[in-house]
Amino acid sequence: MSSPPDPHRDRPESEEFDEFDRALAEVEQALDRFKQRYSDVRRDREQIEQLKQRREDVRREAKQTPKGDRSHRRELKEELEQIEAAIETLEIHLESQLFSWKTLKEPFWQAVRFGGLGIVVGWILKSCSG
């Protein structure tokens, strides 16, 4: 018995190099996207930390401000609200980019596949035993 012909042997070398070049270009693009995402995450986390520090400073300043100085207290309250909104926006941005359908697609379909398989096997076993 002879083994089936290898389809990769029949292709010219130039096609193999072209395929390798395409695969390499895809990997490089994926790496560039990963590097960009990593720098975005680091930047956003640094901004969140700076905003949290500023929030603590504003809270301290609000506690030290005399109660009679209402205009300054109002300004501090508005600044606190802006800081909270900015922190929330950055956190939502981080979470939304970390969890996308693309990252959840494969585990989702694996759960559907193996969960469905488990149900079918369970029905078969139940019908055989009962």
Q: What average pLDDT does the segment 124-130 reach? A: 86
Instruction: Give the relative orientation of helices 13-64 and 70-98 as an angle to the nearest 10 degrees.
Output: 160
Predicted local distance difference test score (pLDDT) of residue 65: 84
Q: How many CB atoms lie within 10 A of CB 40?
A: 13
Q: Is 38 contained in some domain?
A: yes
- Rounded mean pLDDT of 13-24? 86
Position 33 scores a pLDDT of 87
The answer to whether the beta carbons of residues 90 and 48 sit under 8 Å apart is yes
DSSP designation for 99: S
Identify the band that residue 38 occupies on the pLDDT scale cut at 50, 70 and 90: confident
For residue range 102-123, what is the model confidence (pLDDT) as tens digits? 666 777 788 888 888 888 888 9
Looking at residue 67, what DSSP letter applies?
T
Instruction: Kindly state whether residues 95 and 64 are assigned to the same domain.
Output: yes
Q: Which domain holds residue 44?
A: 9-99
Q: Is residue 1 part of a domain?
A: no
Q: Which residues contact 84 (CB under 8 A, 6 or more apart)?
A: 55
